[in-house]
Structure 1
Amino acid sequence: MRNHKMRAGAMVVALAVSPLLYAGSFATAANAAPVAAVQEGPAVQEGPAVQQGEVDCPSAGCRQVVTGVSAWGVALDETARKLYVGDEAADTLWEIDLDTGRKHEVAKGMDARGVALDGAGSAYVADPHHDVLWRVDLNRGTKERVAEHLGDATGVALDGSGKAYVTDTWGDQLWEVDLTTGRKHPVATGLGDAQGVALDGEGRAYVTDSWGDKLWEVNLTTGRKATIATGLADAIGVAIGGDRQAYVTDSWGNRLWRIDLDRGTKENLVTGMSDPRDLVIDQDGHFYVADSARDVVWRITGHTVTPPGRTQVSLSPVPFRKAVPGGIATPAVTVTNTGHVRAGTTDVVLTLGPKGVSWLNPQEIYVTQDGTERKTRCTIDPGDSRQAICKGVNLSLNPQQSAELHTEVRTSSTLRPGEMPRVNFRIGEASADADFLMVDRGSGHAQG
């Protein structure tokens, strides 16, 4: 049994909660109800979008796409058309097919709160009952402990470079966890009832404080924190859009806030939910919001926002790269921000050419701009070993700015001089083949 801070007017009270019904910052009768079956059938039903004013749920702009799940955490795999939902009442991670509405139980035995995907077949789940961060294999359904003694682990975000950031609601802090070693250290403390966490890809985390009714900004290097916005009532979930806007769920006021991260101003976008928790933004700029009291997930299309990672770029190969058989090649492309807003973080997919090239261990991608270099760890796709997925690559490009993207790959000793293997770089719809010329060892390994 565990005591947990709860809101009761202006007082703090303690509630003894059983493991199965452990319900975060406050509990309702709906939280404690048995979990029903998820409704089958087509999940996404579009209606006319309402672009101005508040959107009310349910309505044409806010529809239920999942029912019967005590939803807390949500994560989206748009390529596979799957939604992953942490069910904190049933201690289960669910996979929902967005085309059919069918559900699949991925893993049990964890108080599933925050959920994050690494894009390479694993989900990371924050579990406050066991004080751990789990790694779940989405194909096999197995789980393993990544880090322990994290306190009231509630929210989780991945930085794409082998680290997870986990909120500790009871300990009022934010942990950094090395996903390879499991080592952890507190990044910042004094964050109140720290609930959700989201990263902007530029060294900052945004943490909701449900007891302090606020949104914190945390510098991940120094640990310094600053208040971005207040008056958010029971702030739980947070997502960062591609337009320097944060979106925060208010579990007490049953609403969704939009917060300008530069000015700290806020406006209400959505009302009519009941105990909204975590949320995610899809690439069309729409929301999926977990609603724990109604045991549903809402899809909100009544407001279209700039999604994270929606970058408008062009890619062109850097020519005259050379390599020798049995050596290391450095294929590269130039990436240019062709949009009208700053390009922050994005996902880059690397694909090996047809023969003679293999990945390194670890595989990494590098961004070089103005003499500085930033690297991001990539993960080999378990379903296609010729693809590497590099999550959260920080471009940091203003409109019309350019940078070089390059990676390193191993060349086969069977390649012959004159052959031109390649690696394809892809960001969204933009792609380019970066080839390199094989030369004999006497010609050297010059990078053109």
Structure 2
Amino acid sequence: NVFLSLFVRICCLPSSAASESCDNFTDLNLTHCFIGTILYVRLLLYTRSNLECGRELSHHHLSSQPLFNLSRPTAFVIHGYRPTGAPPIWIDHLVHLLAEQEDMNIIVVDWNQGAANLNYYTAVLNTREAAQNLTGFILTMQEEGAPLSSVHLIGVSLGAHLAGFVGANLKGKIGRITGLDPAGPMFTSATPEERLDPSDAMFVDVLHTDMNSFGLRGAHGHIDFYANGGADQPGCPKTIFAGKSYFVCDHQRSVFLFLCSLNRTCSLTGYPCSSYSDYLEGRCLQCEAFKPAPCPVLGYDVSQWRDTLLKLGQTKVFFSTTATLPYKKLNYRVDMVTWNQYLRWGVVYIRLHSGRTFTEARIDHKLLRFEQYTSTRLLAQFDEDLQPVQKISMRISTGNVIGPRYKIRLLRIRFTPLDHPERPLMCRFDIIVEENMEVAFRPLPCNSNP
């Protein structure tokens, strides 16, 4: 009976369902990588009506593809070097999140046969040929009525440069290219024609997370986001004993930050600045050039700042993250006016308390100077958003372990919530801080001075 029931369920399916099969990303293994693979590009189409089942597109006969609607915008997802040949773990997640943004064609550019090779140089060479292939497909789209301005290329690592080559082939008329940590090896001394650059599309946005290893240093878009300075990412291993994660964690973080931004669970605001050190020192916490719009936010919607960015030229923006989802830090600008008899140097630790819970910011990237009647601005970044803030405690650590403890007088300290401008500023006036000792106080409205 069981076998009969199973036979009936299989054989009595509608013919379309019985014959339906999905086209999946090419799954290779280390054997293929040792032998080497010959480039072959597959284009897998996903739409809101077939998110769970990709359809491989013909490179030439687009009219025969009923799911491919050229009146919709089209996003191409382009992976990078695949040293093991396995499919990227993030592909399905990215496809689903892109479909949530708007009704679009999502095409996964599967060039795993060509990217899977132990010889990285071979994969780099294959990006040019793969770009020619993809360029031909997009030209066919254009011939059948799709405007180039409706095309968005999302390239990861080596895929970012592949996207740039496609854009250059099409004279920069592609609507947008997003580069997620463009590959650095073999591109560090490349000219703009030999890598991703702003002229490759009408709008180019780039995210950097691993510039000191697998990523590319510098600025390569109309806007470049630098997560935690663009190099070492929090939570990633610092020693080789962690194995594979030591090599890929920082580089892959670009994809996970982009996924998080698409999921709307993290709003990662970038602050325009000339350097990461200036950003950490609180010198770049306003977005005057972007008014009346706020500072640019990483992700799919960053294109709303396109016109402003095109006027400004290449813009660098910096932001900090936590080690885990939702990655967002809570930012406060802290302004202090000090009045102390002796010059002191130190680092600052600030805690926000709500009930029995607290979160701490360590401002220890450099020694700060505290002297008589000096204004000091700090950027304090907390891992949690505690509300309401009932108490604030702080410690100025000078490293002085012998001799008398000097006192630092704060005539005023003001906390400005950067991420929530609707929240009131918090102040306190005339506080005595003994070096290396924690002092706690209740914040007051800034218009009061007891």
Q: Shorter-chain-normalised TM-score: which range?
A: under 0.3
TM-score, with structure 1 as normaliser: 0.28
Larger relative contact order (Cα-Cα within 8 Å, sequence gap ≥ 6): 1
More strand, by proportion? 1
